[in-house]
């Protein structure tokens, strides 16, 4: 029987595994990365090598199948950018309203699972791993931007309306965009069908689909959305900002984490 476990990347090999998974999903499968294809087949960011960055990798036996990145507060980056947290999202969003006594925020991003492993325990292992590592480091809240699976401004706005209809918009937190952004005039990746948009135009939001990532974060991790859709030109997709409090993760999800064998593995 194949063994699956999540590791905090502490070696060059494990970091390389994470970057290769990211390219395989974003660049190879989804073709979201613009420009000339990377000759190294790695998706790399300037935030990846900071001491405040944590990479997690899920392995099926010895095969890397999923990854996620967590950015902890970085005073050096905050000073350079004029932000409060020193995370990547502050390049586009004002997150100053989130800071407060007793709150320790971290940004989670680059949530990637190889296609053939997307409907396996890999997702649960990755979520359990980031939860355990966040608790270990004293993180109280996550901030993230969920992929909305579309470059259509109309569909992104409709997805946000469906999220609000389902009660997934935070009554407490609110962030705003700090940079102008333009989405394609002619979308290449619509999410809803014309029939679904017609239903929405009649106010019939119940039953309309939600993209996988926002739905997963809201249902399984108790996340709530905190801003308007934001177009990410690097990945050619809209994203929806969210906040998740670790103390508010559903009990059923925590029970699932406890049931996983192996848990989170660290070097040593």
Asked if the model's pLDDT at residue 267 lies above 90, the reply is: no
Asked if the model's pLDDT at residue 43 lies above 80, the reply is: yes
Q: Pull the structure tokens for residue 19.
A: 């970057």
Asked if the model's pLDDT at residue 209 lies above 60, the reply is: yes
β-partners of residue 112 are: 67
| pLDDT category of residue 179 using cuts at 50, 70 and 90 | confident
Distance CA 235, CA 231 (A): 9
Provide the sign of the torsion angle of the four alpha carbons 15, 21, 24, 26, taken in this order: negative
Q: What is the pLDDT of residues 53-83, one digit of tens each?
A: 999 999 999 999 999 999 999 999 999 999 9
- The DSSP symbol for 249 reads S
| pLDDT category of residue 86 using cuts at 50, 70 and 90 | very high
Give the residue among 71, 59, 45, 53 at the shortest CA–CA distance from 17. 59
Question: Among residues of the chain, what percentage have pLDDT more than 90?
Answer: 85
Kindly report the backbone phi and psi dihedral angles of residue 31, in degrees, each rounded to the nearest multiple of 5, phi listed first.
55, 50
- List strand residue ranges (DSSP E) for the chain, in order: 4-8, 53-60, 63-72, 93-94, 105-113, 141-147, 176-177, 224-225, 230-232, 237-245, 264-265
Question: 3-class DSSP state for residue 240?
Answer: strand
Distance CA 258, CA 243 (A): 23
Greatest Cα-to-Cα distance within the chain, rounded to the nearest angstrom: 59
Asked if the model's pLDDT at residue 208 lies above 90, the reply is: yes
Q: Pull the structure tokens for residue 267.
A: 């070097």
Distance CA 42, CA 113 (A): 15
Enumerate domains of the chain plus CATH numbers: 4-265 (3.40.630.30)
Distance CA 235, CA 30 (A): 10
Q: Which residues of 132-149 are buried (b: 16+ CB within 10 A; e: fewer)?
A: bbbeeeebebbbbbbbbb
């Amino acid at each position: 029987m194949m063994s699956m476990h999540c590791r905090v990347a502490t070696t060059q090999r494990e970091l390389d595994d994470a970057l290769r998974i990211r390219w395989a999903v974003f660049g190879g499968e989804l073709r979201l990365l613009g420009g000339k294809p990377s000759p190294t087949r790695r998706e790399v960011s300037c935030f990846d090598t900071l001491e405040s960055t944590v990479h997690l990798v899920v392995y099926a036996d010895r095969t890397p199948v999923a990854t996620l990145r967590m950015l902890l507060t970085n005073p050096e980056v905050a000073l350079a950018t004029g932000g409060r947290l020193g995370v990547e999202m502050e390049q586009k969003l004002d997150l100053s309203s989130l800071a407060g006594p007793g709150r320790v925020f971290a940004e989670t991003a680059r949530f990637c699972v190889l296609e053939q492993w997307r409907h396996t325990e890999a997702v649960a292992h990755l979520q359990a791993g980031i939860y355990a590592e966040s608790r270990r480091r004293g993180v109280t809240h996550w901030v993230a931007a969920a992929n909305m699976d579309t470059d259509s401004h109309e569909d992104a706005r409709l997805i946000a309306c469906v999220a609000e209809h389902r009660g997934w918009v935070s009554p407490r937190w609110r962030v705003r965009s700090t940079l102008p952004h333009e989405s394609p005039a002619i979308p290449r990746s619509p999410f809803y069908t014309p029939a679904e948009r017609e239903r929405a135009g009649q106010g019939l939001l119940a039953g309309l689909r939600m993209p996988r990532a926002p739905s997963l974060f809201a249902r399984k991790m108790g996340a709530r959305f905190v801003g308007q859709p934001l177009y990410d030109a690097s990945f050619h997709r809209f994203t929806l900002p969210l906040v998740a409090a670790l103390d508010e993760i559903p009990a059923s999800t925590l029970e699932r984490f406890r049931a996983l064998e192996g848990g989170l593995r660290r070097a040593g």
